[in-house]
Structure 1
Amino acid sequence: MTTNKETPWRWVPSIYFGTGTAQAAIATLALLLYKQLGLSNAEITLYTGLLFLPWLLRPLWSPFLGLIRTPRWWIVSMQLMLGVALGGVAFTIPTAHWLQGTFAFLGLLAFALAVHETEADVFYHDTVKGSTRSGLSSMPNTFRLLAFIFVQGFLVMVAGNLQLLYRNSISLSWSLIFYSVAGLFILSWLWHRTSLPSPYNESIHLLRRQQRREQFAERWQEVKKDILSFFAQHPRQQLAAVFCFTFCFLLPETLTSKVAMLFLVDSNHNGGLGLSPQEFGLTYGTVGVVGLIAGSVLGKAIIATKGLRTIVLPLSVAILLPNALYILLSETQPTSLGIINLCIFIGQTNLGLALVTYWTTLKSISKALGNHTVYILLTSVLALAQMVPSMLSGALQEWLGYNNLFLIALACGILSLAGCVWIRPMLLNKSKADAENNKNIDIS
């Protein structure tokens, strides 16, 4: 019987709420901060796109974390580092060198987050077993998304209200917001030092230097062997299909994910909708995330009922609708918040459907082709697919305008559908297996 101290409810919600909070800080708060401080869209997307680098390099560092210390140690340490990094961002915002300072601390934040979420997933799977894990399978992603509502919705609204209170002092308002998030992580660090269970023997990690050096060499050889065998054992056409799907499916989303937020807050004469921080927090940070949750729940239910192979192509069409709605919004530039909210809700619901389809397919492919190293390799390809288009998207928007960029992103949906058609023969039409792949999917 699980004691009260060991129950996952003591630590799973707070761990994954923290993960989602840091993700939203990088994805949304940093972007809005730079927009209000006067950077161009090209500069904003370039700088924030570079923050994907730790995830791109994850295959090179993640296999070695367990040789240094336990997942529990990494989680607690990275939460402290997340708090320090967020505090550093807050401290440097009002300074003369705010760009260099905030970007350096955001880089530290991204690295700490990548390590934290990697080891949090390892810790969750090592600690929560059997029927308990089945009952809590949706909890990690649920609390990630609740954190997005808290950050993108509530905190962005608070930032807007602070700007009114302090007579449009943008630097002060954002500095206070980042200090508050830093404080949350310091509290989280203090909580998890005592609330996290201790399933590992810390002493086994206190090895002599030579032993650890030998283990690093052995682990590196294992990683190389797994990757080389992955490329050697499977036909080139099959590998091309896998990498084409992994890279291309989300291209319509990655090309506009940052620009769409900038479009919502940009002024009308620049082609945007001119939403205030409070309106953005309601529209994108609350209504949009609720739509994302609804789409993910619906997508999981459909895949579990119909089977992935049967439904993958119809569900993949959902990736097209968000950009179609952004085209409509950029053409009409409505002033009605109700119309904007409706479009964002429908678009994000369809995005949730598409993301669940993507992640379920990716996990199914990884199980069919190899082991966990293969999955890490594919997520690294995904990071590249997110990093490059998002870095270029701001420059493309300045060159083409919002409307034309959304049109190009919509046209890129052809690549998404082509990738699904190519990968479909590799998928097994088993609803139970698909339901298993659906568990603990991160769509944030």
Structure 2
Amino acid sequence: MMDVARSSPLKWIPTLYLAQGLPYFAISLVFGQMMKSMGMGNAEIGHWLAFLGGAWMFKPLWSPFLELASSKKLVVVSLQLFGGVCLGLVALALQFPFWLSASVAVLFLGSIASATHDISCDGLYIASLSKKAQAQYAGWTGTFFNAGRLMAQGGLLTLAGYLEKMYGVTSAWTVIFGIVGLTMCALGGYNYWALPLSPNPRMADHSASAVARTLGEVIIDYFRKPGIWVAILFIILFRAGEAQVQTIGPLFLREARAAGGLGLDTAQVGMVYGTGGTIAFIIGSIAGGYFTSWLSLRRAILFLILAMNLPNLVFYYLSHALPTDLTVIGVALSLEMFGYGFGFVGVILYMMQVVAPGKYTTAHYAFSTGIMQVGRVLFGWISGDMQAALGYQQFFVWVLISAVPVAILSQFIPMESRDKQAGGAVPEAA
């Protein structure tokens, strides 16, 4: 079975990365829309989403201990099944008066499972394929990760909107999270058959204490990198505007017109933002990669930051014009999501090419992604409070202002690795 799976990567790569994307978007996007349907305010929604996002922030701290398992396949499948159970339990939690605390509790466990799965998923992909095959199938990983977004924010939200009208809010979201949970369990069952075994290499000292010592070395080496604190600041600030608009933007679409929103129902948000917007995001991501490859990160970085943040003017326009034509709204949101995808390439390449290189390149990239999530959590947490204080129109101005510091910083920091072990000369500090 292992040989068949290894010789046919397309039998398992799509389902592996769909199982990576679906729970992330179900927790970070779909749950927020459910809370909106249940009548919660934007500030409270922002706080809970930021809290659940904390798992992706801390995942590098326990990632080395996953090597103690006998195989990466065992870890991946177990986490998919456990995550599916957690997501499905939201459907049960909705039946109780304390539905919010119960939902957050099971989704907290689900977020830890999903964040941990991210590590094992990428590790299995790398260990199971040659470098040539890794490059050959890299596009499939991003495509099916974002297929999880399309399914969650597009298909499931659209279905939720129709079910809300037919059966009520609680029944609708019971069905939605039941579907998510069953889908994840089905993916886990299929991947149990399809995934390559990918056994973990035996270490000389195969113990938790040895792993902990190595983790300590990795952390110390990371924070000794030249210019690391400026790099960390840059990574966190990169998401200052995007984190806020990605939290509040979908809620603004749902907000009643009398309260300054567009008054769309759940199904309409799924159609214009989850479907058209997701496709635009994927196209933007691909275009951003080619653009940066052509121009180089140093010359492209300011354009990437502007591409990611200037399209947020779309929300400022929508908050003033309050259009009712879904075509106009859909085109505007697709423009915003294209820019988001195009510009997000910048922080990924910065972490990969500038911060990660060195003795522990893979581990340091993982740490950088955790720091990136700090920006997502921090600015996502304050987004609801800022919107409540400013109102939608001024909030979207604030979002644009939030991007100014990172744009300025990008012109004064190195855009190449300064780690001596990365190879080549070490450039002087900018």
TM over 0.5: yes
Query: What is residue 437 of structure 1 aligned with on the other side?
Result: none
Query: What is residue 272 of structure 2 aligned with on the other side?
Result: 283
Query: What is residue 163 of structure 1 aligned with on the other side?
Result: 164
Query: What is residue 173 of structure 1 aligned with on the other side?
Result: 172
Query: What is residue 371 of structure 2 aligned with on the other side?
Result: 381
Match of 2:410 among 396, 409, 420: 420
Match of 2:220 among 199, 217, 228: 228
User: 1: CA distance between counterparts of 2:299 and 2:417?
Assistant: 9
Residue 413 of structure 2 aligns to a residue whose secondary structure is helix
Any idea what the Cα deviations from partners look like across 1:74-103, whole Å, max 9, x if unmatched? 111011111110111011112211111111
User: 1: CA distance between counterparts of 2:197 and 2:350?
Assistant: 34
- CA offset at residue 294 of structure 1? 1.2
- CA offset at residue 373 of structure 1? 2.6
Deviates more, 1:416-425 or 1:84-93: 416-425
The answer as to whether partners of 1:248 and 1:419 remain within 8 angstroms in 2 is no
- CA offset at residue 367 of structure 1? 3.8
1:25 aligns with 2:17: no
Residue identity opposite 1:226 in structure 2: V
User: 1: CA distance between counterparts of 2:131 and 2:416?
Assistant: 29
1:402 aligns with 2:392: yes
Any idea what the Cα deviations from partners look like across 1:169-220, whole Å, max 9, x if unmatched? 1000110011111111121121111211123179x69x9xxx75xx222222
Distance 1:184 1:343, change over 3 A: same
Query: What is residue 344 of structure 1 aligned with on the other side?
Result: 333
Query: What is residue 307 of structure 1 aligned with on the other side?
Result: 296
User: 1: CA distance between counterparts of 2:30 and 2:228?
Assistant: 37
Query: What is residue 428 of structure 2 aligned with on the other side?
Result: none
Any idea what the Cα deviations from partners look like across 1:300-347, whole Å, max 9, x if unmatched? 111122222222222221122232111111111111111111110111
User: 1: CA distance between counterparts of 2:417 and 2:216?
Assistant: 26
User: 2: CA distance between counterparts of 1:201 and 1:131?
Assistant: 21
Over aligned residue pairs, what C-alpha RMSD do you find? 2.1
The answer as to whether partners of 1:249 and 1:419 remain within 8 angstroms in 2 is no
Query: What is residue 46 of structure 1 aligned with on the other side?
Result: 47
User: 2: CA distance between counterparts of 1:409 and 1:394?
Assistant: 12
Residue identity opposite 2:93 in structure 1: T
User: 1: CA distance between counterparts of 2:345 and 2:198?
Assistant: 31
Any idea what the Cα deviations from partners look like across 1:124-181, whole Å, max 9, x if unmatched? 0000113222211111110011221111111111111112222xx1000110011111
Query: What is residue 218 of structure 1 aligned with on the other side?
Result: 210
The answer as to whether partners of 1:241 and 1:422 remain within 8 angstroms in 2 is no
- CA offset at residue 226 of structure 1? 2.6
Query: What is residue 192 of structure 1 aligned with on the other side?
Result: 191
Deviates more, 1:316-325 or 1:397-406: 316-325
User: 1: CA distance between counterparts of 2:138 and 2:97?
Assistant: 47
Query: What is residue 281 of structure 2 aligned with on the other side?
Result: 292
The answer as to whether partners of 1:250 and 1:319 remain within 8 angstroms in 2 is no
User: 1: CA distance between counterparts of 2:76 and 2:407?
Assistant: 38
The answer as to whether partners of 1:230 and 1:369 remain within 8 angstroms in 2 is no
1:392 aligns with 2:393: no
Distance 1:266 1:370, change over 3 A: farther
Q: Percent sequence identity over matched residues? A: 26
Distance 1:130 1:243, change over 3 A: closer
Residue identity opposite 2:235 in structure 1: T
**Pairing of 1:74-113 with structure 2 (within 5 A):** 74-113=75-114
Query: What is residue 67 of structure 1 aligned with on the other side?
Result: 68
- CA offset at residue 374 of structure 1? 2.0
TM-score normalised by the chain length of structure 2: 0.92
Residue 317 of structure 1 aligns to a residue whose secondary structure is helix
Residue identity opposite 1:253 in structure 2: E
Gaps of 5+ in 2: 424-430
1:12 aligns with 2:13: yes
- CA offset at residue 3 of structure 1? 5.7
Residue identity opposite 2:292 in structure 1: I
Query: What is residue 411 of structure 1 aligned with on the other side?
Result: 401
User: 2: CA distance between counterparts of 1:20 and 1:356?
Assistant: 17
The answer as to whether partners of 2:355 and 2:417 remain within 8 angstroms in 1 is no
**Pairing of 1:227-246 with structure 2 (within 5 A):** 227-234=219-226, 238-246=227-235
Query: What is residue 436 of structure 1 aligned with on the other side?
Result: none
Distance 1:80 1:218, change over 3 A: same
User: 1: CA distance between counterparts of 2:152 and 2:56?
Assistant: 22
Residue 250 of structure 2 aligns to a residue whose secondary structure is helix
How many aligned positions are there?
A: 416
The answer as to whether partners of 1:327 and 1:407 remain within 8 angstroms in 2 is yes
User: 2: CA distance between counterparts of 1:285 and 1:201?
Assistant: 38
The answer as to whether partners of 2:91 and 2:174 remain within 8 angstroms in 1 is yes
The answer as to whether partners of 1:312 and 1:424 remain within 8 angstroms in 2 is no
- CA offset at residue 53 of structure 1? 1.7
- CA offset at residue 4 of structure 1? 4.2
User: 2: CA distance between counterparts of 1:201 and 1:320?
Assistant: 41
Query: What is residue 439 of structure 1 aligned with on the other side?
Result: none
- CA offset at residue 407 of structure 1? 0.8
User: 2: CA distance between counterparts of 1:229 and 1:177?
Assistant: 44
User: 1: CA distance between counterparts of 2:19 and 2:384?
Assistant: 29
- CA offset at residue 369 of structure 1? 5.0
Residue identity opposite 2:187 in structure 1: S
User: 2: CA distance between counterparts of 1:231 and 1:105?
Assistant: 34
- CA offset at residue 68 of structure 1? 3.7
The answer as to whether partners of 2:304 and 2:344 remain within 8 angstroms in 1 is no
